[in-house]
Structures are given as C-alpha cells and as structure tokens.
Amino acid sequence: MDQTQAPYLDAVIEYVRRDPSRLHVPGHKGIASDPALVEAIGMAALEHDISAGLKGIDLGPAPTPFQQSQDLAADAWGAARSWFLLHGGSQGNHVGCLALGHIGKEVIVQRNVHSSTVDGMIMAGLIPTFVQPEIDPDLGIAHCVTPGNLETALSENPQAVGVMIVSPTYFGAVADISALAAVAHAAGVPLLVDEAWGAHLYFSSRLPEGALACGADLVLSSTHKIVGSLGQSAILHRGHDSLIGDDLINRCLTMLETTSPSSLLSVSLDGARRFAALEGERLLGEVLDAVDDARARIRVIPELDVLDERLLEAPSVHGWDGVRLAVDVRGTGASGHRVADLMRELSDVNVELYTETIVEAMFGMGSDAERDADRLVASLEAALGALDEADRERRRRFASPPPWGALRMTPREAFLGPQESVSFAKAEGRIAAESLAAYPPGVPNVLPGEELTQETIQYVTDTLSAGGQVRGAGDQTLETVRVVANP
C-alpha cells in the first residue's frame, strides 16, 4: 500500500480548510474556548477536533478515509487488520479479554500482566492460570515467560482458550514469540501479546522482530509510548491466520468505545503511522545511536551500569530493544527512587520509571535523543554527587516473593461481589477482593479471587516496613485489606 498517504488526516484537514458550518459536536466549533487553553494547545487543535460520523471522513461509501487509514496501519505493522484505540493500550487488553471471554472461560496469563489485563479478566469473567515470568534475582525485575513454562501450563490446563503474555518488558526484554505462538497453536489456542512497549519494533532493522511477524494472533501497540501518536491513542492488530475473528473483535471493541471518538487521536495515529513507515528506519537509527552513546558514557561512570545485550543471557529473553535506557544504580548503594528524585530536584530531568535498582529513561522516535541523552547523563552525575551516606545505605535487598495463593473464585466474582475491609495482619485464609503488587519486582502477590496466605501477608508487610511500595491496595497503609465478605 502507499504509505505516503494519510487519508483520515487529509480528510480532516480538508474539512477544516473548507470552513463548513459545523452544526454538530463538539460545541467549541473550533473557535470558542478558554484563552489559556487556546494558548497552550493552539487554535489548530481546536479546529481539527471534529465530530465522528461525518460523510466523506468516517461515513459514506467504503472504504472511508478512516477505514483506509486503519488499513494502512495494518499494512505498516504487517497485520491482517488493525483498529485504532482511543482509550489507550488498556482498551486493547480489555478487548482481548472480552474476546477470550466470548470463546470460553479459562486462560493462561503471564503473572505480571498490566493492570488493564486484570481489569479485562474481571469484565470478561475469565478464570486465569498464571505463569511466572523469569525473575532476575539480582536486579529484582521480571523478564519474560519461557516456551517451556507455557507448554507445561497448557498441558496442565487443557480447557484454556487462550494465552496472554507481555513482550517487550519495560526494560526492553523481548520474549521468544515464535516459540510461544507455536506452543499456543499446538494446543489450538490463540496467543495475545501485549506489545504496548514494542510498537516501534516494526520500523527499524536494528530492532528485534515484532510479535505480528512471529505468529501472534492479537497484538496491542501503545503507539503513543515510543512511536509518537498523541497520548491515549493506541492500535490493536489481528495477526494473519489469527484464531480470533474480526467480528468478535469488532463487537468487543464497540462495547468499550465512546460514541464520540476524538478526531485528534485518530489523526495523530494516521500521521504517526505515516511518519514511522516513511522515516522510522532513520529516526529510530538516530535514537539508537544516541542511546548507545549514552549507555557507553554511563558505563564508565563509577557505581553505574546499564542494562544492555547482556540481558540476552537470561533464558527467557530472546531479543533486546536498545531504544530503552535502563540505568543500573546498584553500585551506588542508593535506591533508584532516591536517584530519580535527585535527578528531578537538581536537574528537572523526569524519567519514565524507577525501581529499587533501576532508573529507566524513555526515548521517543523523532525526538531530540542526543539532547535528552546529554541531559540524562549530566543529571545522573549531579545526582550521584549529591547522594549522602544515608542515601547510600538505603537500598533494600531483594527477597523473592512467595508463591501466590490458590484461586478460590473468579476475579470477577471477587471484585464485583459483596466485600468487607478486614485487618491485613489477620487476613490469612480470606479471599482477596483487590490486587496487591509489591515493588520490586512488581509481579502481583495477590489478585482478586485468590486466598491470602500468611507467607504473602508477611512478605508484603516486610516490603512496606522496609520503605517499599505496594500497588493496588485501596488502603495504602495496608492496615486493612478488602476481602470477599463471609456468607
């Protein structure tokens, strides 16, 4: 297909150029808004924020410009079909879960899936069996799921109707998707890949292959993360020969979508796709060069290291995405949280993610990566210079989490059914109605529907008292926890 075209973007530009009478939503009509807002986002953003459902743009004879743009996206990513998502990558995970929910009930799920997948399972009423990703005990981070572990999970759960995994990880570890797809397909079930962090893999020959090229059935791209569409826009792709049909995806997606989709998000997807298809190889090459150079400069700073090709030594890691810059701060003795705080306070350098051991900077396709890298390196040096003795003794040792408790009811039943708050310390044997994930490594310790074990209660309590974080809990102090009410 002709990737120089951007049919939806062009149709919206043409509509604005014609200066038509806009007797439809949105009510600002491209002219009326708060002056500070106009100054912040520009009049052009208001003008191009138009209604969906206009003839010749998203309605009228097929293929409409909107459909053509989705077809071009499918072509660019190598998908059989693509759908623009205007509710973030999260919506893609919700759709994937609902699609599997239509097919059946039991699914195999990587334990540290994004919270949107857990939410999707709640919506769909799925019964999960979890597979543990490989955990790096030194860095306290999770890598990928191995094909061997997936094979075991599928053979132990022959009723499973699908598999949901995450690749790449936040840190750029890419799973062996071809092997995982082969294992899933041998069991007759689809492989859904949350490739939220890998939308760019398709546009550079220097990056690992994307999941769509490796036989995945449904793939989620959070295009806003690295490819550069507007925040909250994403794309869901169906692979060639997918075991999940278009109609099912259409039905699930319609259920989860606003009836007033934002034209700004869709034009940004159309434009970002064209930019990536035409310029991605060059732009990502520039980012890779700048990030490689920054990695080399950080490696020689005493006390710092970086995550790099060495990740490939981990059995579950098949490829590595060099666009990520994860700085290993263990040598400082301080936590990544403290280093990131100092980078922000001293240099106004704000990073995407930090853990006990890592500070991760995110670069974007087409951004000024050299400048970003220079500021990052300088801010790391400034932060290191400002660490005091107490900071350097603050980092906690990583203890491996205990096994999660047995699933006593579906996440949906636990989350939506009658609940009560009880003392966390005394909650052993109760069924959780909320999630708890201690960081590091961020793999959920408890999910709705699971029995709370004494080991897990102790582990989470120890993490909190050592200054760690536990995400998901309604009561952040964890004096209480929400559990399923006793009959």
Ligand X SMILES: Cc1ncc(COP(=O)(O)O)c(C=O)c1O
Contact residues for ligand X, defined by CB under 6 A: 88-90, 93, 114, 116, 166, 194, 196-197, 222, 234
Q: Which is nearer to ligand X, 194 or 217 (by Cβ)?
A: 194
In the bound complex, what is the minimum distance in angstroms from residue 288's beta carbon to ligand X?
A: 21
Pairing of strands 106-110, 163-166: parallel
Where would I find the H helices in 187-262? Answer: 223-226, 246-255
Q: Which is nearer to ligand X, 65 or 261 (by Cβ)?
A: 261
Give CA angle at 450 (445, 451), nearest 5°: 95
Determine the Cα–Cα distance for residues 138 and 484; give it in Å rounded to an integer: 36
Q: Which residue is nearest to ligand X (CB)?
A: 88
Q: Which is nearer to ligand X, 196 or 306 (by Cβ)?
A: 196
In the bound complex, what is the minimum distance in angstroms from residue 264's beta carbon to ligand X?
A: 16
Pairing of strands 325-328, 305-306: antiparallel
Determine the Cα–Cα distance for residues 335 and 355; give it in Å rounded to an integer: 7
Distances in Å between the alpha carbon of 369 and those of 349, 403, 435, 462? Answer: 14, 41, 37, 40
Q: Which is nearer to ligand X, 88 or 319 (by Cβ)?
A: 88
In the bound complex, what is the minimum distance in angstroms from residue 173's beta carbon to ligand X?
A: 12
In the bound complex, what is the minimum distance in angstroms from residue 336's beta carbon to ligand X?
A: 17
In the bound complex, what is the minimum distance in angstroms from residue 115's beta carbon to ligand X?
A: 8
Dig out the tokens for 25 from the structure. Answer: 């939503």
Dig out the tokens for 142 from the structure. Answer: 């999770």
Determine the Cα–Cα distance for residues 258 and 85; give it in Å rounded to an integer: 10
Q: Which is nearer to ligand X, 362 or 386 (by Cβ)?
A: 362
Task: Give the single-character DSSP code of 410.
Answer: -
Q: Which is nearer to ligand X, 195 or 328 (by Cβ)?
A: 195
In the bound complex, what is the minimum distance in angstroms from residue 197's beta carbon to ligand X?
A: 6
Asked if 229 and 76 touch (Cβ cutoff 8 Å), the reply is no
- The three-state secondary structure class of 103 is helix
Q: Which is nearer to ligand X, 109 or 457 (by Cβ)?
A: 109
Distances in Å between the alpha carbon of 73 and those of 144, 194, 246? Answer: 27, 17, 16
In the bound complex, what is the minimum distance in angstroms from residue 320's beta carbon to ligand X?
A: 17
In the bound complex, what is the minimum distance in angstroms from residue 234's beta carbon to ligand X?
A: 5
Dig out the tokens for 36 from the structure. Answer: 């500070």
Which candidate, 227, 159, 178, 176, places its Cα nearest to that of 198?
227
Q: Which is nearer to ligand X, 89 or 322 (by Cβ)?
A: 89
In the bound complex, what is the minimum distance in angstroms from residue 267's beta carbon to ligand X?
A: 18
Q: Which is nearer to ligand X, 100 or 452 (by Cβ)?
A: 100
Determine the Cα–Cα distance for residues 351 and 345; give it in Å rounded to an integer: 12
In this structure, which amino acid lies at residue 127?
I
| Residue 431 exposed, middle or buried by CB count within 10 Å (0-12, 13-18, 19+) | buried
Dig out the tokens for 311 from the structure. Answer: 């990740």
